[in-house]
Structure 1
Amino acid sequence: MNTTNTLTWQAFKNSLDQHPDKHLQIEYAAGQFVDPSFHITEIKQAPIVSVDCGGKMNSWTEIIVQLWEPAVKEADRSMKVSKALSIINRVESVLPLNPLATVKLEYGNTQFDARQLYPSAFTADDDTFTVRLTPDVTQCKAEDRGESCGVAPVKTVENRPQVSACQPGTGCC
């Protein structure tokens, strides 16, 4: 989990709560938006338990909101924030969601491979509330703790130690 881009489920819902009458737009890449006729098809709560290459157990929870564009676009349909909130409320009436969980939106189309993205910025204008998404990056948790996973650190331009690529037999990953 990359903690630099994370937003909690509660903070995400609070942002939506401030704009219930606006049309919800999702920007999945610079200048690229999910079709306005999208549906929220599923909300998943995923407890993650892992052991990193340094041997430390990690755990966190993710809430994943899955978005889907119908094959036939519905020109007169646009999801309002209030509709998204009603879906969230319906889900939470059956499955209590962890308010401190990391939130991701899962989306893909024929030009954009399905992936989970972080909500990173919100903007509102007269009619719309836009959620801008950013991708996650992989990381070495042991290195983030200042530990070695068997691979020599490499200095980067910013002079921040980075782990070079793991090679078979080095003891890393």
Structure 2
Amino acid sequence: MKTSEFLSLLKQHTDKALLFEYSSGMYVGANYHITEVKNITVDAVDCGANTDSWKETVVQLWESPTEIGKTAYLTVYKALSILTKVDKMKSMEKDAEVKFEYGNALFHTAHLFVNDYEIKEKQLIINLAVTKTDCKAKDTCGVDVAETAEACAPGSGCC
């Protein structure tokens, strides 16, 4: 989901609570805060010596240990207010993919992308997913899309 699409979604549902599902049935705790918004530029070289660059907006979610047991989630209105203030200070790239940085004692810290969202009575639930790694130079490396990651093993002439 692009940053502009995420902001537009928030603007349409300001009266709801904002929840994040980071794994099936697993939600970021109601004690979460938006602690950082990162405008990231990735400048990369893949294993086939191809260069690429892109931008991402990364919103960091952090659960406050002093607010464990809190049941009221951050409202969409409040989250939108935070992101609007950030955008005025450091303009967000609206065409960039928005990701969420999150982790807890049961889930490793990761950058998660928006897989989908759902609207329930008084909730906007953002369904997150882990981005899988991939070989971007399959043609250069001679990797058949149907093959496993073993095709890019060290010493295979690829990667």
Residue among 7, 18, 21 paired with 2:15: 21
28 and 163 in structure 1: CA distance in 2 versus 1, 3 angstrom threshold: closer
Q: Which residue of 2 aligns with 1:66?
A: 60
SS at match of 1:153: coil
TM-score (norm 1): 0.84
SS in 2 for 1:89: helix
Percentage of pairs with the same residue? 36
Give unmatched runs, 5+ long, in structure 1.
1-6
The amino acid of 1:91's aligned partner reads: V
- Counterpart contact for 1:64–1:104, Cα < 8 Å: yes
Pairing partner for 1:100 from 79, 91, 95? 95
Mapping for residues 51-130 of structure 1, pairs under 5 Å: 51-72=45-66, 73=68, 75=70, 77-130=72-125
Are 1:153 and 2:134 an aligned pair?
no
Q: C-alpha separation between the residues in 1 aligned to 2:34 and 2:63? A: 9
Instruction: Measure how far apart 1:171 and its partner are.
Output: 3.9
Corresponding letter in the other structure for 2:83 = I
Q: For structure 2, list consecutive stretches of 5 or more residues without a partner in the other structure.
A: none
- 1:38 pairs, out of 23, 32, 45, with 32
More helix by share: 2
Number of equivalences:
158
Task: Supply the distance in 1 between the matched residues of 2:127 and 2:149 (Cα, whole angstroms).
Answer: 30
Counterpart in 1 of 2:131? 136
Instruction: Tell me the distance in 2 between the aligned counterparts of 1:13 and 1:137.
Output: 25
CA contact 1:154–1:164 (8 Å) conserved in 2: no
In structure 2, what is the Cα distance between the partners aligned to 1:75 and 1:162?
44
Quote the residue 1:4 is aligned against.
none
3-state SS, counterpart of residue 133 of structure 1? strand
The alignment yields a C-alpha RMSD, in angstroms, of 1.7
